[in-house]
A and B are shown apart, each in its own frame.
Chain A
Amino acid sequence: MNRFLARSIQAGVVACGLIGLGALPATAAKDSITLAMPLEPPHLDPTAGAAAAIDEVVYANIFEGLTRIDSAGAVQPALAESWEVSDDGLTYTFALRSGVRFHDGTAFDSGDVKFSLDRAMAEDSTNAQKGLFESIASVETPDAETVVVTLKQPAGNLLFNLGWGDAVIVAPESVANNKTNPVGTGPFAFERWVKGDRVEMVRNGNYWGTPARLARATIKIIPDPAAATAAMLAGDIDAYANFPAPEALAQFEADPRFKVVIGSTEGETILAINNARGPLSDLRVRQALAHAVDRQAVIDGAMFGYGTPIGTHFAPHHPAYVDLTGSYPYDPDKAKALLAEAGYGDGLSLSLKLPPPSYARRGGEIIAAQLAAVGVATEISQVEWAQWLEQVFKGTDYDLTIVSHTEPMDIGIYGRETYYFNYQDADFKALMAKLNTTVEEGARYGLLAEAQEKLAADSVNVFLFQLAKHGVWNKDIVGLWENSPVQANDLTAVSWQ
């Protein structure tokens, strides 16, 4: 019977081969790129949703803010050419670029900036990161090229916050349709979106800065890792900024057509602990969990070796990072001793809720086995994102969960009044309050270091690893970001060699 199938396949092959020959792509000097990503953006307005996929399409390509975050995570001028900060740190005066136009031809001026910021801060705002603008008291426009932002209290991270995708500048004329027809000021103009398949953009000929080197960029949506691998191998896709399946990377490394670039992301992957739950409110139990987990084994087993161990909630590539991975070395005996000391020598049973990403599902199995080895039984339940948000995040109905916190510089979540870790610590809150009002960099780094150490000492969560960024692209492409300090696929400087 195999012969029968083989013969029908052969017949099909010949037929399709004849048809296909005429349609092979020409290999002239390329000025277009097809980039793929696993998740489709729900819409294309970065000021109205938390989905990282939105920023990954539009940030720095279609939309720009007053400032922008570059590939190293540093703040750069964007629509604001320069700024001055008053001595008390309460007044920021931005000088805007002149001659900037939105893609639809309308002029950009201080009115658009005021409109965008006021809209994000408004009572009925649906901005997912409304907290970014919390410190702003008012926005004034003395003239068309100047914006004065007055703060309620000094905010050391204001310039960084204004570089987020959620703080991009939109025009009142086009804002209503940005979800489906985004109109920004960036180097690429939106062309079309075939929902479920791809977003296309073209070079903005009237760009105020250095024009993009690519004439056209297509972002394809491929959710399935096996399909993604096939599409790369078939040459349908030029680049994956972050390939969804680390297990396939070896295959690309071995293929001379591709370059594999492992970078870092802002994703701190943690075994989150509900600090309010019975035994878990005991510091010794949380420390025991930290000693029981072998991070490297989780990285090797769940992420195929890609990932950097962390010892606190902070990105290792940030200059203020303190290496605390030695705080709780892998030591099952110590873990057992700590559990016994806390009165759980006979063991403990905890729930472990795992959202869909592979770091959680695969990592969860490994961690469950490691915890079992020290007498902590876990009841694993797999949840989808909607359930995770409802049960774990909103309801804090969990003992343990695994999740990656992908927002940049998000150590502040540990100082919130309500957050799903249920970590309530007055000292940490005071530290965050001080950080918020500190502007000078050296002093900020000192406070950040103190905060990192505090989280490790309190063993709030088991800090596992920083998610790696698995870039795979055609060896002739240059200019793609190696790391992702913000969720973005900045194509401004991308070109073919």
Chain B
Amino acid sequence: MALFLVQRLTALVITLLVASLLVFLVMEVLPGDPAAIILGVNARADTLAALRAEMGLDRPAAERYLVWLGGLVTGDLGRSYTYGVPVWELVGERIGLTLPLALMAIVLSTALAIPLGVLAAARRNKPADVGVMGFTQLGIAIPNFWFAMLLILLFAVHWQVLPAGGFAGWDAGFWPALKTLILPAVALALPQAAILARVTRSSVLETLGEDFVRTARAKGLSRRAALWRHAVRNALIPVVTIMGLQFSFLLAGTIIIENVFYLPGLGRLIFQAIAQRDLIVVKDLVILLAASVVVVNFVVDLLYAVLDPRLRGGQHVV
């Protein structure tokens, strides 16, 4: 187990170092001068130079990379060019929205997908299976932004029971804040649930055909007990893998849903920062998200080990 942990941690650090270099280089070649964006079309050359100096953009690239990396290691993410506040503060505010939203969506989609997937597998080719598969087809086929607009039309415009968008903020109280996250979470969860249900179904079907399930049935377990105790548990590895990927996606890939509901989440922060050439924010966020993906994968690896004791010896799971 210790060897397994050391291996995974080393890989994690190297991945992040390479990512940081890549991110920095990409930002270097990106056309556009942050100072010009801030000062607009009437700015004079001396004003631009003054602002560039203030932002430290006149230093050599290698120096700026090392300063940035040193900052990351010591937990100093620098100051946003456009907002003029520490990047930590910006990220902190956005995470207060993005993390709960991602969690709500993943909980919702898991709660929907696993029972549906298991049900479909257990009733293979029966009406329940066909129904679930049809529902998942629909969930995958419907673009989530369109589904989101439908939700808004129904709940916000027609019935006016939930807000059309925006985020009240947690300091407005738990319920008002939660209320603004319900529709986006549902819109995000549906397609995720559809994918997850299909993965669950095929994975459970596969394990249902395995020898150990037959053995379990042979030693006298009921269909239901064999299903839940043996088949489902062993079918969870691919499901957990997909969940890990989905969670990483939910942290940054929700930009479209954030636009539809005008939510100030991490996805929109990156999008805005790129458009405004707030390079420091882009670099910090990309590296933080890379870190979160790597960490989630690390956690997923640990979960494999919990689910499958054979993996605790240090072998990799592919």
Partner of B186 from the list A12, A220, A389 (CB cut-off 8 Å) is: A12
Residues B37 and A389 in contact, CB atoms below 8 Å apart = yes
Which has the most chain B C-beta neighbours within 10 Å: A4, A16, A235?
A: A16
Q: In the complex, which of the residues A126, A394, A405 has the most CB atoms of chain B within 10 Å of its own CB atom? A: A126
Known: A231-B262, A386-B275. A49 touches B134 (CB 8 A): no
CA distance A390 to B163 in the complex (A): 40
Neighbour of B156 across the interface among A23, A51, A194, A230, CB < 8 A: A230
Residue B157 is within 8 A (CB to CB) of chain A in the complex: yes
How many contacts between A and B, using CB within 8 angstroms?
A: 190
Q: Please, which residues of chain A bring their CB within 8 A of the CB of B162?
A: 16, 20
CB within 8 Å of A: which of B146-162? 149, 152-157, 159-162
- The smallest beta-carbon distance between A348 and chain B, in angstroms, is 27
Min Cβ gap A413→B in Å is 8
CB atoms of A131 and B269 under 8 A apart: no
- Whether a CB of chain A sits under 8 angstroms from the CB of B138 is yes
Please tell me if A224 contacts chain B, counting CB pairs below 8 Å. yes
A24 within 8 A of B: yes
Residue B259 interfacial (CB < 8 Å): yes
Shortest distance from the beta carbon of B132 to any chain A beta carbon, whole Å: 9
Q: Mark B19-32, 1 if CB is under 8 A from A, else 0.
A: 00000000000111
List which A185-212 residues lie within 8 A (CB) of chain B: 194-198
Residues in A147-192 with C-beta less than 8 Å from chain B: 179-180
Q: B212 at interface (Cβ–Cβ under 8 A)?
A: no
CB-based contact B154/A13 at 8 Å:
yes
B40: which A residues are within 8 A, CB to CB?
A: 49-51, 128
Tell yes or no: A78 within 8 A of B by CB.
Answer: no
| Chain A 223-244 interface residues, beta-carbon cutoff 8 Å to B | 223-224, 226-227, 230-231, 233-236
The smallest C-beta distance from B40 to any residue of chain A, in angstroms, reads 3
> A222 and B165: CB pair below 8 A?
yes
- Asked if B84 is at the interface (CB within 8 A of a chain A CB), the reply is yes
Tell whether A236 pairs with B164 under 8 Å between CB atoms, given A40-B272, A49-B39, A125-B47.
Answer: yes
Question: Is A221 an interface position by the 8 A CB rule?
Answer: yes
Contacting residue for A196 out of B46, B138, B163, B264, CB 8 A: B264
| Complexed CA–CA distance, A385 and B31 (Å) | 11
Query: A104-130 toward B: CB 8 Å interface, digit per residue (1/0)?
Result: 000000000000000000011111111
Task: Among B38, B149, B152, point to the contact of A50 (Cβ < 8 A).
Answer: B38
Any chain B CB within 8 A of the CB of A17? yes
Q: Which residues of A contact B7 (CB under 8 A)?
A: none
Decide if A436 is an interface residue (CB 8 Å cutoff): no
Q: With the chains together, A16 CA to B90 CA distance in Å?
A: 32
- Say if the beta carbon of B67 comes within 8 Å of chain A: no
Cross-chain contact A387 with B32 (CB below 8 angstroms): yes
Contact between A234 and B39, CB atoms less than 8 A apart: no
- Total interface residues on B, using CB and 8 Å? 65
B residues within 8 A CB of A2?
A: 138
Instruction: Say whether, besides A43-B82, A50-B43, A391-B31, A222 and B262 are in contact (CB < 8 Å).
Output: yes
Q: A50-B39, A385-B37 are in contact. Are A180 and B277 (CB under 8 A)?
A: no
B247 at the interface (CB under 8 A from A): no
- Asked whether A13 lies within 8 Å of B37 as measured between CB atoms, the reply is no
Chain B residues whose CB sits within 8 angstroms of the CB of A40 once the complex forms: 272
Is B164 a contact of A407 with CB atoms below 8 Å?
A: no
Q: Is A231 within 8 A of B164, CB to CB?
A: yes
Q: Does residue B72 face the partner (Cβ distance < 8 Å to A)? A: no
Whether B213 is near chain A, meaning CB under 8 Å from some CB there, is: no
Q: Which of A130, A220, A236, A407 contacts B47 (CB 8 A)?
A: A130
Contact A126 B51 (CB under 8 A): yes
CB within 8 Å for A389 and B157 given contacts A42-B276, A227-B164? no
18 contacts between A and B (CB under 8 A): A13-B155, A20-B162, A42-B276, A50-B40, A128-B43, A180-B85, A196-B264, A196-B265, A197-B263, A220-B166, A223-B268, A227-B259, A230-B153, A234-B157, A236-B164, A387-B31, A387-B32, A407-B42
**18 extra interchain contacts, Cβ-Cβ under 8 A, other than A231-B262, A234-B152?**
A12-B186, A13-B154, A42-B83, A50-B40, A123-B46, A194-B169, A196-B269, A197-B262, A197-B263, A222-B262, A224-B262, A227-B165, A230-B149, A236-B164, A385-B275, A386-B30, A386-B276, A391-B31
B residues with CB within 8 A of A: 30-33, 36-44, 46-47, 50-51, 54, 82-85, 90, 93-94, 131, 134-135, 137-138, 149, 152-157, 159-167, 169, 176, 179, 182, 186, 259-265, 268-269, 272, 275-278
Give 6 closest A-B pairs by Cβ, nearest first: A196-B264, A50-B40, A20-B161, A386-B32, A42-B82, A1-B134
